[in-house]
C-alpha cells in the first residue's frame, strides 16, 4: 500500500466485476491505487486496521463499494477525516436501492460522497477521487480535462454517425 493515493475497498470479492471499473479509470488517469476487500460486518477489525494502515501510508482518498446493508463507506468514514466516496452496488433482491439508502443517508457529522448505483458509480467514484487529488496535482488536472474533452468528442462522433449512417 506504500505508493497508493487512492484505496478501493469492496465488501466482498463478488463486487470486483463492478469495482474493477474504478480501478481501470484510475489506472487510465495514472493515479496510484490499490484494491482491497474488507467487510464492515464480517471483518470489522480487518476494516479498522486497513483504514489505519492506509492513513499511515499516505492514502488521500477512499472509494468504498458495497451491496445490501452497505455500511462499508460509513464505517470507513467514521475512522478517518480523509474523503470517502461510497459506491452502492446491486446484487441483492432490492437491486442496490438498499445499498444506496445505506450509503447516502449518513448522519450529519460523518460525510460520505455517494455515487450512483453500480458501474456508473464506480466510474464516477474514480473520477471524483482523481478530481480531489488534482487540486494539488496540475498534471493530473490536465489529464482529467483531456479525458472530459475526449468524452465530448466521442459524443459528437456518435452524433455524426447517427445523422449519416
Q: Is 89 in the site for ligand RP5 (CB under 6 A)?
A: yes
Smallest gap, in angstroms, from Cβ of residue 92 to ligand RP5?
A: 7
Q: Is 118 in the site for ligand RP5 (CB under 6 A)?
A: no
Closest Cα to residue 58, out of 129, 9, 4, 8? 4
Smallest gap, in angstroms, from Cβ of residue 59 to ligand RP5?
A: 20
> Of residues 21-40, which lie at the interface with ligand RP5 (CB under 6 A)?
39
Q: Is 74 in the site for ligand RP5 (CB under 6 A)?
A: no
Phi first, then psi, for residue 7 (nearest 5°) are: -115, 130
Contact positions toward ligand RP5, by CB under 6 A?
A: 11-12, 14-15, 39, 66-68, 89, 91
Amino acid at each position: 500500500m506504500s505508493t497508493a493515493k487512492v484505496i478501493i475497498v469492496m465488501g466482498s470479492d463478488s463486487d470486483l466485476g463492478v469495482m474493477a471499473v474504478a480501478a481501470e479509470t484510475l489506472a487510465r488517469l495514472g493515479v496510484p491505487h490499490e484494491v482491497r476487500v474488507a467487510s464492515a460486518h464480517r471483518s470489522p477489525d480487518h476494516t479498522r486496521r486497513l483504514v489505519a494502515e492506509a492513513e499511515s501510508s499516505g492514502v488521500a482518498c477512499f472509494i468504498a463499494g458495497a451491496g445490501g446493508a452497505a455500511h462499508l463507506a460509513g464505517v470507513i468514514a467514521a475512522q478517518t477525516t480523509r474523503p470517502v466516496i461510497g459506491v452502492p452496488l446491486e446484487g441483492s433482491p432490492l437491486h442496490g436501492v438498499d445499498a444506496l439508502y445505506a450509503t447516502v443517508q449518513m448522519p450529519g457529522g460523518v460525510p460520505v460522497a455517494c455515487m450512483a448505483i453500480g458501474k456508473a458509480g464506480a466510474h464516477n467514484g474514480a473520477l471524483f477521487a482523481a478530481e480531489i487529488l488534482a487540486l494539488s496535482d496540475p498534471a493530473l488536472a490536465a489529464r482529467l480535462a483531456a479525458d472530459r474533452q475526449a468524452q465530448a468528442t466521442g459524443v459528437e462522433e456518435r452524433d455524426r454517425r447517427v445523422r449519416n449512417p
